[in-house]
Structure 1
Amino acid sequence: MQLLRKLGFPISLIYALVVYLRNYLYDVGLLPSKAYKTKTICVGNLSVGGTGKTPMIEFLVANVKEQGRIAVLSRGYGRKSKGYLLAKPGIEVEDLGDEPFQIHKKFPHAHVAVDADRQHGISILEETIGPDIILLDDAFQHRKVRCDQYVLLTSYANLYVDDWYLPSGNLRDSKREARRANIIVVTKCPSKLSMAEQQRIKNKLNPGPGQQVIFSYLDYETTLKGNSREIDLDELRNKKVTLVTGIANPKQLVSFLGAQGIVFEHLAYPDHHFFREKEIALFNNKELILTTEKDYVRLEGKGDNFYYIGVSHKFMNGGKEVLLNMLGESLTAT
């Protein structure tokens, strides 16, 4: 893999040039960027996958709901449907996509829609739902929409300032675009990150005037939910466990389970993977399947031995209040 990335370096230079020119055209107004009457919050990153966008959207849906009617607009990656689609009772995960379906199932008060064309999706939401707030999932690079607030996520283990462009690295957008963020969240940190290390990272990110840098870690639930019942994480120590993941970066989950003394085999699949019948049959022959919540929405009802482990962001040093206060000030501004 490292050799392929090195061989792809010339391609990454071309990619970087295309990214730079595209952003330049938006910056000077030759490519238009549209603002909307509805307050919009963009959650995204500069790299491909693995920074915790879905838990961040869930955190915002859960904590900003008192501000009014909430809509979530996502691309719906991997779905089988096309165009704009609003989640309704009875909708299938294949039509909505795994991440939007997970949010729809967990937060019935939120209006969850998918559309690759974010301008089109926002316009329909405004016409049909009239939300007070629209959360744009994974939309930092979508310059056609000008949002009220931008929340940029970057993983502690792979800060965007240390990364390089695809295909040699993981960057899909320019590091320079971080200047558009109101809040930069360093995610997936060790739970006990020293103040000195936090300051070192802040210095490295070098935030601009008015930008806030906060830190979070992933907090895994110890009660596992499944089709038939709930079990405690400790029970896994006495079972033959198979971990099934179809996410961008399962390393932190693997490390967490190992630290809990749980022995397991790991079957890793590509991000957003829709499991085939042969794979489902394999899982049903295992004693216990443990998976992520995002994967579980694609597996639910297909076996009695499937359980998922929930995860959420936990913020350090008052980061939660910083995030919510900053967003609240924007949303109440006229």
Structure 2
Amino acid sequence: MNYILKNGDGLKVAVIVNDMSEVNIDADLVKQGGFSRTEETLVEMQNGCICCTLRDDLMKEVERLVDKGNIDYIVIESSGISEPIPVAQTFTYIDEELGIDLTKKCSLDTMVTVVDGNRFWEDFSSGESLLDRKEGNDEHDTREVVDLLIDQIEFANVILLNKVDLLTEEDAKELELVLKKLNPEAKIIQTIKSVIDLKEILNTGLFDFEKASQGAGWIKELNTDHHTPETEEFGISSFVYRRKRPFHPERLMTWLENWPVDIVRTKGFFWLASRNDMAGLLSQAGTSIMIQGAGEWVAAYSEAEKQQTLREEPELLEKWDDTFGDRMNELVFIGLEMNEEEVISTLDHCLLTDAEMQQDWSAFCDPLPKFTVQS
């Protein structure tokens, strides 16, 4: 943020920050006549996460700055605990309650994520929640640090891999390739003290909400027949595990409890025998593993709803099974020095056997946490 303010390339930049103390704006900039000297405006927003409790305030502040005029660009520094999608949505819809339509006044140009290269693996494997770090919105904010880290990486247009001066050249390159695997669409730039040609992050025209929503590496891997080959030099690889047979809940639980350490990121849908009508969503990053309901399988719909859905989404028929419909396991795995064969064989062991396929699936012991359905 300091670098943008000092090197505006002639742009009149307004800056919205969540917390002045978090951003630590250079005191000299304030001392030298504040931001009027370079015609920049600093707006401090306090009392919570910019994308949650302050969303209304954010919309009002952006509208005020735009209507006031005399600025070329607004830079929003959201909190480190902000989820990026709600911030982006602020600029893509009309708030009828507030009577604000930012789509007519400005557009979201670039989503930038700064990755601390020196702390990345420490944060990734810490297993800490925001509460552990005393950074949560309140005592009920149990989100894990690594989940936020991955969310911000997977939704970015530009990723600045910062503090590379504290890494070996090999470690920096390895981390860059991991980030590329997590978000193939993002432009990744190695930086020291976030020094960057501002043309790389301002007025880029890179942001597209639909494209960003589908940009994560796991989505790309799931939706394409083209498999990205392993980066041999660093052993970074990925694959999709697909099986048209359900998991046994007890064996899957045991597998999850003994998660292979070489798997960096996993996401996808799974079929659990004891919950035959509901698709499961598995999301893993580092030590964080979450499962939740992803809605009913289309095969579990009423006959009328099923036929209507298949007419509207004929691509479902490509993978449709005569007996089980669209039920299947589709999980993307991204890893470092990952033993793909072992992951596949141990997961195959979690599938129902031929004999179990003939049994009453609802009678199986199911120790997995209950599904909460995505809102």
Report the TM-score range of the alignment, normalised by the length of the smaller protein.
0.3 to 0.5
| TM-score normalized with structure 2 length | 0.35
Larger RCO (alpha carbons 8 Å, 6+ apart):
1
| TM-score normalized with structure 1 length | 0.39
More strand by share: 1
* Higher radius of gyration, 1 or 2: 2
